[in-house]
Structure 1
Amino acid sequence: MLESGFTVRRSGQRYDCTAVDALVERLVATVERRSVGPDLTVADLRAAQFGTPMFGPGYAVEEVDNFLAEAERLLPARDGVAGQRAVAQSGRPVQGELTKPSFSRVRLREGYARDEVDAFVDRVLATVNGLPVDRPVTAQEILNTRFRTVRLSEGYDATEVDLFVDTTAARLDGMIGQ
């Protein structure tokens, strides 16, 4: 999933390790839906600033910046149907409402068929957000779902889709258990 493993430098361009570790911890908690404070947003990631240690070690700037750019894709997008509905009604997204994720597209390596993933995600979002849906999904159905893999046509990154499926199943299971 999220592997930070940054190179530690004693000189040159580097970020304060403690500040970077705190942001990464908050990012992981947001992605895994653990409550450790307010969820991290894409805007928070883009606005993150880290000091440079005067003396002592720090993380390689380029590695941290690349990691954060990749991590943006794992945070919930605010452009899904549910998110649009919430924004239209209140002027801002509703806290806790699941919005449509933005998966990376892959080609020439194994990915999931986009049409299958999109259709399933739409059903999941409708179920979790309490919208009308022909066939609401269950946590067990989410965990048992398998998507057709593609290699030559454009597909979605399988790791990102699997992470979404796992976190959504846990969320739906938690809703049912309440």
Structure 2
Amino acid sequence: MAHTEDSAAAGFDRVGRGDLGYSPKQVEKFLDAARAYLEDRAAAAVTSHDVRTVSFDAVRGGYDANEVDAALDRLEDAFARRERDDLIQEAGQEAWLREIGQLAGLLRGRLMRSDGERFRRPASVKAPSYHVDDVDILCTRLLAYLEQGSPMSADEVRTAVFRTVSGREGYEETQVDAFLDRVVELMAAID
């Protein structure tokens, strides 16, 4: 990995000139906005959801994606804690518990479905999809986390990897990804 003076200022290594990484301009612009909001609530609001769903263009010689993603995970957790604390301060702990309970109930409904039935199958027979067994194993662990307090972290969900299969043999990737985003939202708010 090449390391340049301007990437040192941002705190991220750059990938080699011929390799793809995140656009430094986009990363720095987003992180500047997040930092501004952390320091001054009068700045344009940035939420944990914004951090979780931000995406950057891939450019040659850009920032190392793994380093940026790890920093975004920490930032998302910080914003989620702040949002939780703000809600508790403004509306009380009961309001926060209600919000968490509603989201947990929504997620639990899908997790309670039978193995092989938790998510829809892709419409196209050639579309890449997630291996059903891999997703169901994670869902079983998530249900144990919600129902029995089994140990699990948001990072385990963020970094979950599923084998890819074709079409209707697996679960539709976008639906699984959207669900896991909500799981991370819940876990970040709780932890």
**TM-score where L is the length of structure 1:** 0.41
**TM-score where L is the length of structure 2:** 0.38
Higher helix share: 2
